[in-house]
Structure 1
Amino acid sequence: MKLNTIQRKKFRVTGKLKKVSSADRLRLCISRSSKNISAQIIDDVKNVTLVSCSSIEKDIRSMEKTNKTEVSKIVAEKLAKKAQVKKITKIYFDRGIYKYHGRVKAFAETLRKNGMEF
Protein backbone atom coordinates (compact mmCIF):
# COMPACT_ATOMS: atom_id res chain seq x y z
CA MET A 1 0.00 0.00 0.00
CA LYS A 2 1.55 3.26 -1.14
CA LEU A 3 0.91 6.28 1.06
CA ASN A 4 0.82 9.83 -0.19
CA THR A 5 2.70 12.71 1.44
CA ILE A 6 -0.12 13.80 3.76
CA GLN A 7 -0.71 10.26 5.05
CA ARG A 8 3.03 9.75 5.70
CA LYS A 9 3.20 13.02 7.62
CA LYS A 10 0.18 12.09 9.73
CA PHE A 11 1.52 8.62 10.56
CA ARG A 12 4.94 10.06 11.39
CA VAL A 13 3.60 12.60 13.90
CA THR A 14 0.79 10.52 15.41
CA GLY A 15 2.80 7.29 15.49
CA LYS A 16 5.52 8.82 17.62
CA LEU A 17 2.95 10.09 20.11
CA LYS A 18 1.14 6.75 20.31
CA LYS A 19 4.40 4.96 21.13
CA VAL A 20 5.12 7.15 24.14
CA SER A 21 1.53 7.54 25.35
CA SER A 22 0.64 5.99 28.66
CA ALA A 23 -2.28 5.79 31.06
CA ASP A 24 -1.33 8.99 32.90
CA ARG A 25 -1.08 11.14 29.72
CA LEU A 26 -3.72 11.34 27.03
CA ARG A 27 -3.49 12.48 23.41
CA LEU A 28 -5.13 15.67 22.17
CA CYS A 29 -5.81 15.29 18.45
CA ILE A 30 -6.61 18.42 16.48
CA SER A 31 -8.14 18.72 13.04
CA ARG A 32 -8.97 21.84 11.10
CA SER A 33 -10.57 22.70 7.81
CA SER A 34 -10.73 25.95 5.91
CA LYS A 35 -13.63 27.18 8.09
CA ASN A 36 -13.81 25.03 11.25
CA ILE A 37 -11.59 23.49 13.90
CA SER A 38 -12.19 20.52 16.18
CA ALA A 39 -10.24 18.66 18.84
CA GLN A 40 -10.65 15.58 20.97
CA ILE A 41 -8.81 14.03 23.89
CA ILE A 42 -8.21 10.33 23.28
CA ASP A 43 -7.16 7.52 25.62
CA ASP A 44 -4.94 5.35 23.39
CA VAL A 45 -4.77 2.52 25.92
CA LYS A 46 -8.55 1.99 25.89
CA ASN A 47 -9.12 3.48 22.39
CA VAL A 48 -11.82 5.82 23.71
CA THR A 49 -12.53 9.51 23.09
CA LEU A 50 -13.03 11.18 26.46
CA VAL A 51 -13.66 14.84 25.59
CA SER A 52 -14.34 16.59 22.31
CA CYS A 53 -15.16 20.10 21.16
CA SER A 54 -15.72 21.69 17.78
CA SER A 55 -16.52 25.04 16.23
CA ILE A 56 -19.58 23.42 14.63
CA GLU A 57 -21.34 23.16 18.01
CA LYS A 58 -24.44 25.30 18.29
CA ASP A 59 -23.35 27.59 21.14
CA ILE A 60 -20.00 28.39 19.50
CA ARG A 61 -21.57 28.95 16.09
CA SER A 62 -24.04 31.45 17.53
CA MET A 63 -21.31 33.58 19.17
CA GLU A 64 -20.12 36.81 17.64
CA LYS A 65 -16.71 36.04 16.17
CA THR A 66 -14.20 38.10 14.29
CA ASN A 67 -11.85 35.63 12.63
CA LYS A 68 -10.83 31.97 12.60
CA THR A 69 -8.04 32.44 15.13
CA GLU A 70 -10.53 33.82 17.65
CA VAL A 71 -12.80 30.83 17.03
CA SER A 72 -9.83 28.52 17.72
CA LYS A 73 -9.25 30.24 21.06
CA ILE A 74 -12.93 29.89 22.00
CA VAL A 75 -12.92 26.18 21.15
CA ALA A 76 -9.70 25.69 23.17
CA GLU A 77 -11.20 27.39 26.23
CA LYS A 78 -14.32 25.24 26.04
CA LEU A 79 -12.26 22.05 25.63
CA ALA A 80 -10.08 22.99 28.62
CA LYS A 81 -13.18 23.49 30.78
CA LYS A 82 -14.60 20.11 29.74
CA ALA A 83 -11.24 18.46 30.47
CA GLN A 84 -11.00 20.04 33.92
CA VAL A 85 -14.43 18.63 34.79
CA LYS A 86 -13.06 15.16 33.97
CA LYS A 87 -9.82 15.98 35.85
CA ILE A 88 -7.59 15.82 32.77
CA THR A 89 -4.55 18.09 32.92
CA LYS A 90 -1.63 16.23 31.29
CA ILE A 91 -1.82 15.58 27.55
CA TYR A 92 0.27 15.08 24.43
CA PHE A 93 -0.50 17.58 21.67
CA ASP A 94 -1.03 15.75 18.36
CA ARG A 95 -0.95 18.44 15.70
CA GLY A 96 -1.36 15.85 12.93
CA ILE A 97 -0.46 17.12 9.47
CA TYR A 98 -0.70 20.78 10.46
CA LYS A 99 2.24 23.06 11.20
CA TYR A 100 2.50 24.57 14.67
CA HIS A 101 1.54 27.96 13.31
CA GLY A 102 -1.48 30.25 13.12
CA ARG A 103 -4.72 28.72 14.38
CA VAL A 104 -3.04 25.57 15.71
CA LYS A 105 -0.52 27.62 17.69
CA ALA A 106 -3.25 29.90 19.07
CA PHE A 107 -5.24 26.80 20.08
CA ALA A 108 -2.25 25.30 21.94
CA GLU A 109 -1.32 28.53 23.72
CA THR A 110 -4.90 29.03 24.90
CA LEU A 111 -4.95 25.49 26.29
CA ARG A 112 -1.74 26.18 28.21
CA LYS A 113 -3.21 29.37 29.67
CA ASN A 114 -6.24 27.39 30.85
CA GLY A 115 -4.23 24.82 32.83
CA MET A 116 -3.37 22.03 30.40
CA GLU A 117 0.18 20.66 30.51
CA PHE A 118 1.97 19.37 27.40
Structure 2
Amino acid sequence: MTNKTNAKRRSRIRRHARVRKAVAGTEQRPRLAVFRSNRHVVAQVIDDTAGVTLAAASTQEADLIGGATSNKEAAATVGERIAERAKAAGVTTVVFDRGGFRFHGRVAALADAARSGGLEF
Protein backbone atom coordinates (compact mmCIF):
# COMPACT_ATOMS: atom_id res chain seq x y z
CA MET A 1 0.00 0.00 0.00
CA THR A 2 1.16 3.51 -0.68
CA ASN A 3 1.71 6.14 1.98
CA LYS A 4 -1.50 7.93 1.01
CA THR A 5 -3.53 4.72 1.31
CA ASN A 6 -1.92 3.93 4.66
CA ALA A 7 -2.66 7.42 5.91
CA LYS A 8 -6.31 7.20 4.88
CA ARG A 9 -6.66 3.79 6.57
CA ARG A 10 -4.97 5.01 9.77
CA SER A 11 -7.25 8.06 9.82
CA ARG A 12 -10.35 5.88 9.50
CA ILE A 13 -9.15 3.59 12.27
CA ARG A 14 -8.48 6.63 14.48
CA ARG A 15 -11.98 7.97 13.76
CA HIS A 16 -13.46 4.55 14.51
CA ALA A 17 -11.62 4.37 17.82
CA ARG A 18 -13.01 7.79 18.72
CA VAL A 19 -16.55 6.65 17.89
CA ARG A 20 -16.09 3.37 19.80
CA LYS A 21 -15.21 5.23 23.00
CA ALA A 22 -18.83 6.38 23.13
CA VAL A 23 -20.61 3.54 21.31
CA ALA A 24 -20.83 0.09 22.89
CA GLY A 25 -23.34 -2.69 22.30
CA THR A 26 -25.16 -4.22 25.23
CA GLU A 27 -27.48 -7.18 25.48
CA GLN A 28 -30.54 -4.90 25.40
CA ARG A 29 -29.14 -2.62 22.69
CA PRO A 30 -26.42 -4.26 20.56
CA ARG A 31 -24.16 -2.40 18.17
CA LEU A 32 -24.85 -2.38 14.42
CA ALA A 33 -21.32 -2.18 13.00
CA VAL A 34 -20.77 -1.34 9.34
CA PHE A 35 -17.62 -1.93 7.31
CA ARG A 36 -17.29 -0.63 3.77
CA SER A 37 -14.53 -1.66 1.40
CA ASN A 38 -14.07 -0.71 -2.23
CA ARG A 39 -15.96 -3.81 -3.34
CA HIS A 40 -18.22 -4.88 -0.48
CA VAL A 41 -20.31 -3.82 2.51
CA VAL A 42 -20.54 -5.85 5.72
CA ALA A 43 -22.91 -5.31 8.65
CA GLN A 44 -22.93 -7.08 12.02
CA VAL A 45 -25.11 -6.81 15.10
CA ILE A 46 -22.73 -7.28 18.05
CA ASP A 47 -23.24 -7.69 21.80
CA ASP A 48 -19.97 -6.24 23.13
CA THR A 49 -20.55 -7.28 26.74
CA ALA A 50 -20.68 -10.98 25.78
CA GLY A 51 -18.40 -10.57 22.76
CA VAL A 52 -20.74 -12.32 20.34
CA THR A 53 -22.13 -11.51 16.91
CA LEU A 54 -25.91 -11.91 16.94
CA ALA A 55 -26.53 -11.36 13.22
CA ALA A 56 -24.49 -10.59 10.12
CA ALA A 57 -25.07 -9.74 6.47
CA SER A 58 -22.71 -8.98 3.63
CA THR A 59 -22.51 -8.41 -0.10
CA GLN A 60 -20.17 -11.42 -0.16
CA GLU A 61 -23.10 -13.81 0.28
CA ALA A 62 -23.53 -16.24 -2.59
CA ASP A 63 -26.80 -14.84 -3.96
CA LEU A 64 -25.46 -11.25 -4.10
CA ILE A 65 -22.08 -12.01 -5.68
CA GLY A 66 -23.45 -12.17 -9.23
CA GLY A 67 -24.47 -8.53 -9.41
CA ALA A 68 -22.93 -5.25 -8.34
CA THR A 69 -21.71 -5.34 -4.74
CA SER A 70 -20.30 -1.84 -4.30
CA ASN A 71 -23.27 0.43 -4.87
CA LYS A 72 -26.11 1.88 -2.77
CA GLU A 73 -28.59 -0.75 -3.94
CA ALA A 74 -26.36 -3.57 -2.70
CA ALA A 75 -25.84 -1.73 0.60
CA ALA A 76 -29.62 -1.32 0.95
CA THR A 77 -30.05 -5.07 0.39
CA VAL A 78 -27.54 -5.74 3.18
CA GLY A 79 -29.47 -3.30 5.40
CA GLU A 80 -32.74 -5.13 4.78
CA ARG A 81 -31.11 -8.49 5.49
CA ILE A 82 -29.43 -7.36 8.69
CA ALA A 83 -32.74 -5.98 9.96
CA GLU A 84 -34.50 -9.25 9.14
CA ARG A 85 -31.79 -11.38 10.79
CA ALA A 86 -31.55 -9.14 13.84
CA LYS A 87 -35.31 -9.34 14.39
CA ALA A 88 -35.08 -13.13 14.05
CA ALA A 89 -32.43 -13.03 16.81
CA GLY A 90 -34.79 -10.99 19.00
CA VAL A 91 -33.16 -7.59 18.48
CA THR A 92 -35.28 -4.54 17.66
CA THR A 93 -33.19 -1.65 19.00
CA VAL A 94 -29.52 -1.10 18.15
CA VAL A 95 -26.87 1.57 18.41
CA PHE A 96 -25.30 2.47 15.04
CA ASP A 97 -21.52 2.25 14.57
CA ARG A 98 -20.51 3.78 11.24
CA GLY A 99 -16.98 2.38 11.58
CA GLY A 100 -15.17 5.66 11.02
CA PHE A 101 -16.82 6.15 7.64
CA ARG A 102 -18.88 9.23 6.76
CA PHE A 103 -22.63 8.77 7.16
CA HIS A 104 -23.08 9.17 3.44
CA GLY A 105 -23.66 7.04 0.36
CA ARG A 106 -23.51 3.31 1.00
CA VAL A 107 -23.35 3.63 4.79
CA ALA A 108 -26.44 5.86 4.83
CA ALA A 109 -28.27 3.57 2.38
CA LEU A 110 -27.60 0.58 4.63
CA ALA A 111 -28.80 2.49 7.69
CA ASP A 112 -31.99 3.69 5.98
CA ALA A 113 -32.80 0.18 4.77
CA ALA A 114 -32.21 -1.25 8.26
CA ARG A 115 -34.55 1.38 9.73
CA SER A 116 -37.23 0.64 7.16
CA GLY A 117 -36.72 -3.08 7.91
CA GLY A 118 -37.75 -2.51 11.52
CA LEU A 119 -34.56 -1.73 13.45
CA GLU A 120 -34.67 1.33 15.70
CA PHE A 121 -31.65 3.59 16.15
Work out whether the TM-score is over 0.5: yes
Quote the residue 1:81 is aligned against. 84
Contact 2:80-2:117 within 8 A present in 1 as well? yes
Any gaps of 5 or more consecutive residues in structure 2?
1-9
Paired-residue identity, %: 36
Any gaps of 5 or more consecutive residues in structure 1?
none
SS at match of 1:12: helix
Quote the residue 2:19 is aligned against. 13
The one-letter code of the counterpart of 1:89 is: T
Quote the residue 1:26 is aligned against. 30
Q: 1:103 & 1:77 partners in 2: Cα distance? A: 13
Q: 1:7 & 1:31 partners in 2: Cα distance? A: 11
Alignment: residue pair count: 112
**TM-score for both structures, normalised by structure 1:** 0.87
Q: 2:33 & 2:83 partners in 1: Cα distance? A: 13
Q: 1:103 & 1:74 partners in 2: Cα distance? A: 11
**TM-score for both structures, normalised by structure 2:** 0.85
For the aligned residue pairs, the C-alpha RMSD in angstroms reads: 1.6
Q: Which runs of 4+ in 1 moved over 3 A?
A: 64-67
